[in-house]
Amino acid sequence: MSTKRRTFNKLLLASVGATLVPSLLAPAVLALGKARVVIIGGGAAGATAARKLAATDSGIDVVLIEPNRNYVTPFFTNRVLADLQPLDDFTFSYEKLAASDRIQVIHSKVIDGDPVKGSVRLEDGSTIAYDRLIVAPGTRLMTDPIKGYTAESTLIFPHAYQGSSADQWIRLHDQVHNMDDGGTIIITAPVRPYKCTPAPYERASLIAGYLQKHKPKSKLLVLDSKMEFPLMDAMLEVWEEKFGDLIEWVSADFGGTISAVNNDTRSILADGETFTPDVGNIIPGQRAGDIANTLDLTNDDGWCPINPRTFESTRQKNVHVLGDAIDGGDMPKSAAAASQQALSASTAIINVLTGSSTPIPPLANACYFLTEAGQGLVVSGRYRTDGEKIVGTEGYSSDPGETLDVRQYTAQEGDKWYRQVTQAMFG
């Protein structure tokens, strides 16, 4: 195990729950009395921010607004599709957060808001005022480029990629497991940027492992709108050695870009060729979640520009945006990145609201994923701010040809990271 890799893992795992010390950030106290921070979205960014803000002695009121009463982590849930772990392992309740006397959890949906007045409006018509607003909306699916794609398509070709409830994962799991031996599964991968870039390929590998064991006459195609993907050399090596002809990656230059679907015939059109799979897992492209558009936080590209030091929106004052929705520069869209951003933004907000001077934690990321049960790959990095951008300073990724011991160690580190990041979210 390389020293560089150990350093990256220790930095990321330690920073999730790090105790912070005084900093050089110049604070600007807003007002006397108790300040309120409202958080929209209870995922890796929003829940982590809520607990970080509530863990201080600042006396800040924290209001977390999240429609769902249970959260299914989109990250690591590919394991459910291959029966490696049950869905319950990835399902968390907001009860511990709600039990805190420093966090008010409201299970509702934000309809709109008024950044000038500093308030948001819920679906029941009530409004909540804030001193600072954190928006962690995740992403929305960009289905317009796929001709014929409708709401019904999500039932026929489940994406199992979006949202924080279990429905899509259950639907795709059941389709894979009910398919006859000898059937064909197609997974489509979108163009960048989208959240958790390695996830479609982990999904392909784990489902291929399930097919090899239970439906060995079957075929899995990955139709890719790109010509490369993270850790491609290592993953393609695994696919060739372990699965042979069972799995095939079709890149954009060989016809992998999906252009249309037909719900009636359950078919997929890619580069003029029609495919009619037994199971179709279509993962559309993505942009910032709907509420980010409603609050006028997005730019022409559909992402939210932010001040990289505080994650405050450059479009709306006193509003901070975290996670997959931001224009993050070199920092990828992942749960690890979102969690790190939450710690940084929360610290900046505490400094502003209380006049403290705690240092902003450094930014890091690590995306862990499996090639098979107990065997993992990782891509990770460290980042700094450079003007108005987040830029990478160092990176590490798994190599082709690694030993089984190294891959096993990586899988174990991934499991450790998952436990720590969900502990930071839910307690």
* Distance, CA of 62 to CA of 53 (rounded, Å): 7
Question: Among 284, 305, 320, where does a domain finish?
Answer: 284
Quote the domain boundaries for residue 58: 3-67+108-138+289-426
Q: Report angle CA 366, 233, 188 to the nearest 5 degrees.
A: 80
> Based on the domain organization, do 330 and 411 belong to the same domain?
yes
Query: Sorting pLDDT into bands at 50, 70 and 90, what band is 387?
Result: confident
pLDDT by residue (tens digit) across 5-39? 444 554 454 444 443 333 323 333 434 458 999 99
The reply to whether 88 falls in a domain is: no
Q: How many domains does the chain have?
A: 2
Which two three-digit tokens encode residue 283?
Answer: 């993962």
> Based on the domain organization, do 265 and 296 belong to the same domain?
no
pLDDT, average across residues 33-61: 92
> Based on the domain organization, do 132 and 182 belong to the same domain?
no
Which two three-digit tokens encode residue 83?
Answer: 């029966």
φ, ψ dihedrals at 94, nearest 5°? -90, 10
> Based on the domain organization, do 134 and 147 belong to the same domain?
no
* Distance, CA of 218 to CA of 208 (rounded, Å): 9
Nearest Cα to Cα of residue 249 among 221, 284, 282, 279: 221
The reply to whether 210 falls in a domain is: yes
> Based on the domain organization, do 388 and 272 belong to the same domain?
no
Q: Is the pLDDT of residue 392 over 80?
A: yes
Which two three-digit tokens encode residue 304?
Answer: 């939210």
Which two three-digit tokens encode residue 300?
Answer: 């022409």
CATH code of the domain covering residue 122: 3.50.50.60
Q: Lowest-pLDDT range, 45-54, 160-169, 287-296, 345-354?
A: 160-169
Output the pLDDT for position 56: 79
Output the pLDDT for position 235: 96
Question: Among 259, 284, 309, where does a domain finish?
Answer: 284
pLDDT by residue (tens digit) across 107-141? 999 999 999 999 999 999 999 999 999 999 999 99
> Based on the domain organization, do 146 and 280 belong to the same domain?
yes
pTM: 0.90
Output the pLDDT for position 12: 53
Q: Is the pLDDT of residue 327 over 60?
A: yes
> Based on the domain organization, do 151 and 134 belong to the same domain?
no
